[in-house]
Amino acid sequence: MLSGSEQGGGTLVTVEKLAFGGSGIGRVDGKVCFIPFTAPGDRCRVEIHAEKKSYSEGALLECMAPSPARVTPPCGVFGECGGCFWQHIRYSAQLAAKQQIFVEMLSRSVPVAPDVFLPAVPAPMPYGYRSRVQFKLRSVTGKLKFGFYRRGSHYVIDLPGKCHIACNVINLIREELCRMLERFPEPDKLPQIDVAAGESSGLLLLFHYIGENRTGIAAWLGETVPGCAGVTGVFLQCGRKSSLLRIWGDERVAYRVPTAVVESLPDMELAFRCGGFSQVNYGQNRAMIRTVLDWAALKGRERILDLYCGNGNFSLPISRSCAEIIGVEEYGDSIEDAVFNARSNDVQNARFIARDTDGGLRELIARGERFHLVLLDPPRTGAREAVHLIPALEPEKIIYVSCDPATLARDLAILHGKGYRVAASRPIDMFPQTYHIESVTLLTKV
């Protein structure tokens, strides 16, 4: 390992690898230094701006000898915009870094044999993959900024053209919205627009309004937005989700789970409504569903519990291979979507419960319920309480879908202490150009 040295107004550092959080890691006088927007193998001058007990933080001043992994970012505001972290790194190097980070984070918390970790599933589309985007808006001296927050702030960066990780239809509607909003009555009262695109068609727009003229703004949107390219539904929200108002059009958009994923069975279409959750990368979502189905290895006789089930993203494809599946989800609108999707796809053996996960688990345990498999897909905060309760259901297998390796590692350690071992674990690159890591982990009862 090379130490940093003072030279030309900064410290010379060789970047060794990438960290969860996006920064490159080098060493200065033997201490770890985190440096954003660097690549493994960079030899660079760094300004140290924060000294901690066990590490330091620096800012890149100059890349003296660029890494072979370094590429030119396509986005003109990369480095300012808070959405992407790794556009300056070749995609193959991003994928290798995610694999390394994932293995290191889990191995620190759980005893796992090296062959348990399977190679990360690469994204077929490293750009243009996002089907949902939250655009931030701010009116400054009569000019509307329309883009995303600057990294580490709430200052809005105006996009120069398109967002490179958003799908094409979202970029097209952004251009049209830019023109339309020049006539918006209260531009300083519109902080955000959510856009959700269906896979083959359909586009939902959700306008967040913080003014007092809700009725007038709803009328303006109802007259102005219908007819915009591809838009199939328009919504208004003034504060909490409970204030969501459908102004015009469809409630939902949909994506496909084709026969190639659920073999020898008809294509399945799964819908979600405005304000509901769905994975932003439809292609990688299918890879995740395929992984879950393969690892579940169902024979058709099993009872399955799907926690944090959302719109039935896993429940409904799995339902065709088991005897019964129960989905539990706290957000009532998503449960309505799951019921809608079960009916639309003629699924008879799936039941959905609108209940918080921990409360739902306690009720199932109190009734003496047992399941062959428990599947969970919690938010970034993980499932700290749920993993204490799940073993009481005596599942032979647990499949944990995670979007945060830190909380996954914490929860796997709990399950390991309750008699479950990690049998397989695989990152799935849902979010190229960022450090975020989606994964699927299979645990079996010892």
- List, by residue number, the catalytic residues: 403
Are the CB atoms for 314 and 375 separated by under 8 Å?
yes
Residue 80 CA, distance from chain mean position: 21
Helix (H) or strand (E) holding 98: helix 91-107
Helix axes 91-107, 405-417, angle to 10 degrees: 30
Residue 161 CA, distance from chain mean position: 24
Residues forming beta bridges with residue 421, ordered by sequence position = 444
Alpha-carbon gap, residue 197 to 193, rounded angstroms? 13
**Nearest Cα to Cα of residue 160 among 75, 72, 74:** 75
Backbone angles phi, psi at 220, to 5 degrees: -65, -45
In the chain, what is the straight-line distance between the N-terminal and C-terminal CA atoms, in Å?
40
Q: Quote the tokens at residue 266.
A: 């008809």
**Matching residue, tokens 């020049």:** 182
Backbone angles phi, psi at 303, to 5 degrees: -100, 135
